[in-house]
Structure 1
Amino acid sequence: MRSPLTDELNKITTLSRLRRYQYFMKEVAINKEVWTLYKGHWAINYASGYQLFPLWPNESFALACAIQNWQQFKPIKFSLDILLTDVIEMLDKHLLFPCIFDTPFEQGSVINTQLLKDDLLNVP
């Protein structure tokens, strides 16, 4: 797995939501894995009455967001195959929306599970 250097991490986290979403798709297609945070339960965010399940393309980005309420959470990795089957099924069952690539300063892109699946299966 490629891990961004600190300078690259800082540069990428300042990109717009759309650019971070595109970066996420590219990196997940290359590395075949995604990251989230866990501590006996999943890290969940809330926005506009929705429960959001954060996903990152790399452990370094997940660690960068393990702050404040998520300070004790640890990064956990899913293979792309597990994401596309078990994780998406869990998200649908619990009415959680994927939140792609939060940063410590800005919420990521909130999408539905079908769009996540379609985009991941159709990365150029």
Structure 2
Amino acid sequence: MNQKEFESVIQLPANIRYEYFIKKVVDSEEVWSLYENGWSVTKDDKGTKLLPFWPKKEFAEYCASEDWEIYNSKSIDLYEFIDEFLPNLKRDGFQPSIFFNNVDSAILEVDVLIEDLKTELEKY
């Protein structure tokens, strides 16, 4: 990915970044997050625990600053993400934070994310 593409995508509205995320992770069959002796976690204004995910390593690393500067980007196999990771996230009371850009992200229910990923996978 070149710098121009990176800069244009990172500035898109959260809902458009979400659509980009779905297409890219299905295409690459991997999801990215930040990890250092545990996954990076944040909370929304209501106190809901959020776990951030990105479509590419570069976007995850872009957000590895301030509170997350000790974290490293780590990939998750897409099928493991759908079948194991997301159900465990739901069980533990977390919500996915999709494609944070240091300003905002798409926050949704685990079941919606799983359904959107499966719908996109059917196209392949």
TM bucket, shorter chain = over 0.9
TM-score under structure 2 normalisation? 0.93
- Aligned counterparts of 1:35 and 1:44: Cα–Cα separation in 2: 14
Q: Does 1:115 align with 2:118?
A: no
Number of residue-to-residue matches in the alignment: 120
Of 15, 25, 41 in structure 2, the residue corresponding to residue 28 of structure 1 is 25
How big is the shift at 1:19? 0.7
- Aligned counterparts of 2:36 and 2:104: Cα–Cα separation in 1: 20
Counterpart of 1:14 in structure 2 is: 11
Q: Which runs of 5+ in 1 are unaligned?
A: none
Q: Counterpart amino acid of 2:31?
A: V
Question: Where do 4+ consecutive residues of structure 1 move more than 2 Å?
Answer: none
Of 101, 104, 109 in structure 2, the residue corresponding to residue 103 of structure 1 is 101
How big is the shift at 1:93? 2.2
- Aligned counterparts of 2:18 and 2:74: Cα–Cα separation in 1: 19
RMSD between aligned residues: 0.9
How big is the shift at 1:41? 1.2
TM-score under structure 1 normalisation? 0.93
Deviations 1:45-102 (A, max 9, x none): 1102100010000000000000100001001101110100111122012111000000
- Please state whether the residue corresponding to 1:78 is helix, strand or coil: strand
Percent identity, aligned pairs only? Answer: 27
Counterpart of 1:66 in structure 2 is: 64
Q: Which runs of 5+ in 2 are unaligned?
A: none
